[in-house]
A and B are shown apart, each in its own frame.
Chain A
Amino acid sequence: MIEGDPLKKVLHIDLSIKRFWVEERNDLFEKFIGGVGVASQLLSEECGKKTDPLGPKNPIIFAVGPLTGSFPLASKTVSMFKSPLTGNLGESHAGGRSAIAIRMAGYGAIVIKGQSSEPVYIAVHGNRVYFKNASVLWGMGNSYSVGRILRERESGAGLRTIMRIGRAGEELISYASVITETYRHFGRLGLGAVFGSKKLKAIVISGNNSLKVNNVKQYRKTYDEIYNSVVNSPAMNKYHELGTPINVNVINSIEALPTRNLKEAKFEYADNISGETFLEKYLGRRIACAHCPVSCIHLAALRESYESDPYFFKTTMISYDYEPIFSLGSMLGIPNPDELLRLLEEIEILGFDAMSAGVVLAWATESQEAGLISEKDTFGIKFKWGDYESYIKALRLVIKCENEFYEALGRGVEHASTVYGGDDFALAFGGNEMPGYHTGPAAYIGFLTGARHSHLDNAGYSLDQKVISSNEKLTPDETANKLLSEEIWRQILSSLVVCFFARGIYTPEIVTKALEIMGYNLTYDDSLNIGREILKIKNNFKKENGFNENNLRIPKRIFETKAPTGKFTEEYIRQGVSAYFKLLNSD
């Protein structure tokens, strides 16, 4: 790290006593670079094994990296915490302006602990930290309004992040999200509920630093190399033009798009909700994260008239991506893009994780079909595939939490299925609701072994797709080996906080070069060692908090619905999982 780089500063905030202080942690940033490496170490330092995810001792950790603010696409913020959804390691990444704002405010990481007695929001403007009353914002029905109010009330326009929760976070729904810059999210694993448990409605962070680099000439050269490969790369083009929903037709065409709670893997209306259709009929604006020229964020313009006055219209902008299209579209059998967008908008207003919410509603629909839950449980709702209005009603009832059923739904399918049954089709892995890839065994071994049980941990879905196109067969051991290598390298990318979309651009060679400019001398092998160590820290944390790879529940549904790789067995999956952990712990 370059001497004087503010990256080493860790801002600690205690909401119980409304105090803050800064610790200089050269050690941490020298050893673990930044992002997920630093956050994992901070989590293990700050979060003891019996910590209640919704108690004052659970830390909220944000971390960025040395390339943030110095090179393009290093614009992700890693958040870590103990997850109220899984009761174990929580990790969620978001872009927007969050990473740049933290770095430009002069910090490498922020740790928030304690619990406020009344609703608050925090404003961090450079080295000044303010605790501000949020009683008026608490309980506000629409998260968009909260963003609008804070935008007008706080300074730093263009240089700030505004992270906030909706009603779901306030009500401690286990898969509540934190929304940042209206259209990006710390979606997964319930960070929103951790905010809510601390009575923390929002955090505004702004700053305007400049940073020193080693060797200015080389800096400009390496910058241009990265920048040019980003703006000219066909690899980035797909994110830029159609955005992530390009995958809807791709995944559907290989019959891997989970449909109606994965009773099927092909959605007959996929084209209606595809990236191509959204581009043609809905795309209203494309936007970018700070310091990323790609602009993968796609906003749909939804024009609706009011029933009471058909000459009165409103136009809403709703960000759409592959995952919410899967979870709220094919997974719930919604064929109409207008209706899908209405449901997605409601998710944003209330502040749920779109992925978990969709999978939870899909489980509820099938459970009602199977007679496991009654209309008495649902307060009269009869769930039907494609009926978006009943799903909107149900989400509002989850927030109200007025009976045992909705209380259970608010805790995710892993929990709900222990109360009502239906665990054969409760599609969570390691407690986290599934993403939109029924590609084959590597995807599922990946969800089960990945440190945060996310498809992004090790991209098993991508491995399956390679297997399909090359017709090769992998043994469980080979699969585990490839997944582990990928996950190790991704620890480095997410310690640099480089967006995974740019993984093809940030090759090991480029990473070494860019790091050198920011004062790090790391070879590829050094990086891999650090990556492995980070992964071990995360898995140790998980073990201490009760994770046991031998007790993982695997829903039978995934073996019943044919995947494009062909059917696979539970034995294969279990062998893969066990091989993965054997390899991870082998040295």
Chain B
Amino acid sequence: MCDFLVNGKIVVVDVNLCVGCQSCMFACTRRFGNAGLGKSAIHIGSAGGIERGFVVIICRGCPDPPCMKVCPSNALRKRDGGGVILDAGKCIGCKNCVKECTIGAIFWDEEMNKPVICVHCGICANYCPYGVLKLEKKGDD
């Protein structure tokens, strides 16, 4: 449950295995005790029509995160192992981080008006029945 404390990182093993079931997205919102999709930090969409397969959009855990640099209220700090950690109390909801992420991996919680940021906990990988996602830990091959 607390895998992220060991600074693991979610990686996409093989996107061609993805069937688009979105179980990962639902798992991510379930972290917060909610059903639905509104708090998911991972997104699965078609790669221009379902016949072409799917794209997985998830935080890459940048070592030098651009999202952090554009936060005007210092609500984002570096996470050990890559990516950022949000201090929601400092966040003013400007969406600069959302705009800055090149791959669109910062999502928006409309209810809270705050970003949804991946903490690389691995719950999405636990609910991927096809092995598309993996929580890579330090020392893994």
Quick one: which of A211, A284, A293 contacts B36, CB cutoff 8 A? A211
Say whether B34 contacts A288, CB under 8 Å.
no
* Number of chain A residues whose Cβ lies closer than 8 Å to a Cβ of chain B: 42
B66: chain A residues at CB < 8 Å are: none
14 more contacts with CB within 8 A, not counting A181-B50, A183-B50, are A103-B36, A104-B36, A158-B43, A158-B45, A208-B37, A208-B110, A209-B38, A210-B34, A210-B39, A210-B111, A288-B20, A288-B22, A290-B21, A317-B51
Say whether B35 contacts A219, CB under 8 Å.
yes
Given A231-B129, A291-B26, A292-B21: A69 touches B35 (CB 8 Å cut-off) = yes
Say whether B45 contacts A157, CB under 8 Å.
yes
Say whether A212 contacts B34, CB under 8 Å.
yes
How many angstroms between the C-alpha atoms of A290 and B22 in the bound complex?
A: 6
Smallest Cβ-Cβ distance to B44: which chain A residue: A158
Q: How far is the CB of A160 from chain B (nearest CB, A)?
A: 9
B45: chain A residues at CB < 8 Å are: 157-158
Instruction: Indicate if A327 sits at the interface (CB-CB under 8 A).
Output: no
Smallest Cβ-Cβ distance to A160: which chain B residue: B45
Quick one: which of B23, B30, B53 contacts A293, CB cutoff 8 A? B23
Instruction: Indicate if A534 sits at the interface (CB-CB under 8 A).
Output: no
Give the most central of B26, B36, B39, B129: most A CB within 10 Å.
B36
Within 11-51 of B, Cβ neighbours of A (below 8 Å) are at 19-23, 26, 29-30, 32-39, 43-46, 48-51
B127: chain A residues at CB < 8 Å are: 227
How many angstroms between the C-alpha atoms of A104 and B38 in the bound complex?
A: 8
B36: chain A residues at CB < 8 Å are: 69-70, 103-104, 209-211
A290: chain B residues at CB < 8 Å are: 20-22
Smallest Cβ-Cβ distance to B31: which chain A residue: A220
Instruction: Indicate if A370 sits at the interface (CB-CB under 8 A).
Output: no
Say whether B23 contacts A227, CB under 8 Å.
yes
Smallest Cβ-Cβ distance to A144: which chain B residue: B49
Q: How far is the CB of B115 from chain A (nearest CB, A)?
A: 14
Chain A 284-310: CB-based contact to B (< 8 A → 1; otherwise 0)? 111111111111000100000000000
Chain A 193-237: CB-based contact to B (< 8 A → 1; otherwise 0)? 000000000000000111111001001100100010001000000
Chain A 266-288: CB-based contact to B (< 8 A → 1; otherwise 0)? 00000000000000000011111
Smallest Cβ-Cβ distance to B48: which chain A residue: A151
Instruction: Indicate if A159 sits at the interface (CB-CB under 8 A).
Output: yes
Say whether B49 contacts A70, CB under 8 Å.
no
Say whether A295 contacts B35, CB under 8 Å.
no
A289: chain B residues at CB < 8 Å are: 21
A285: chain B residues at CB < 8 Å are: 51, 53
Say whether A291 contacts B49, CB under 8 Å.
no
The 6 nearest A-B residue pairs measured at CB: A158-B45, A210-B38, A70-B35, A288-B21, A317-B51, A216-B33
How many angstroms between the C-alpha atoms of A286 and B16 in the bound complex?
A: 10
Say whether B37 contacts A69, CB under 8 Å.
yes
Chain B 91-128: CB-based contact to A (< 8 A → 1; otherwise 0)? 00000000000000000001100000000000000010
25 residue pairs from A and B, CB less than 8 Å apart: A69-B37, A70-B35, A72-B26, A181-B50, A182-B50, A182-B51, A210-B29, A210-B34, A210-B35, A210-B36, A210-B38, A210-B39, A211-B34, A212-B35, A213-B33, A216-B33, A219-B35, A227-B127, A285-B51, A286-B19, A288-B20, A288-B22, A290-B20, A291-B21, A295-B19
A292: chain B residues at CB < 8 Å are: 21
Smallest Cβ-Cβ distance to A151: which chain B residue: B49
Smallest Cβ-Cβ distance to A181: which chain B residue: B50
B43: chain A residues at CB < 8 Å are: 158
Q: How far is the CB of A292 from chain B (nearest CB, A)?
A: 6
Q: How far is the CB of B122 from chain A (nearest CB, A)?
A: 15
B34: chain A residues at CB < 8 Å are: 210-213
Q: How far is the CB of A91 from chain B (nearest CB, A)?
A: 26
A72: chain B residues at CB < 8 Å are: 23, 26
Given A158-B43, A208-B110: A287 touches B38 (CB 8 Å cut-off) = no
A295: chain B residues at CB < 8 Å are: 19, 21, 130
Smallest Cβ-Cβ distance to B21: which chain A residue: A288
Q: How far is the CB of B121 from chain A (nearest CB, A)?
A: 14
Instruction: Indicate if A148 sits at the interface (CB-CB under 8 A).
Output: yes
Say whether A293 contacts B49, CB under 8 Å.
no
How many angstroms between the C-alpha atoms of A583 and B51 in the bound complex?
A: 47
Smallest Cβ-Cβ distance to B109: which chain A residue: A210
A159: chain B residues at CB < 8 Å are: 37
Smallest Cβ-Cβ distance to A72: which chain B residue: B23
Q: How far is the CB of B92 from chain A (nearest CB, A)?
A: 21
Q: How far is the CB of A149 from chain B (nearest CB, A)?
A: 12
Say whether B51 contacts A288, CB under 8 Å.
no
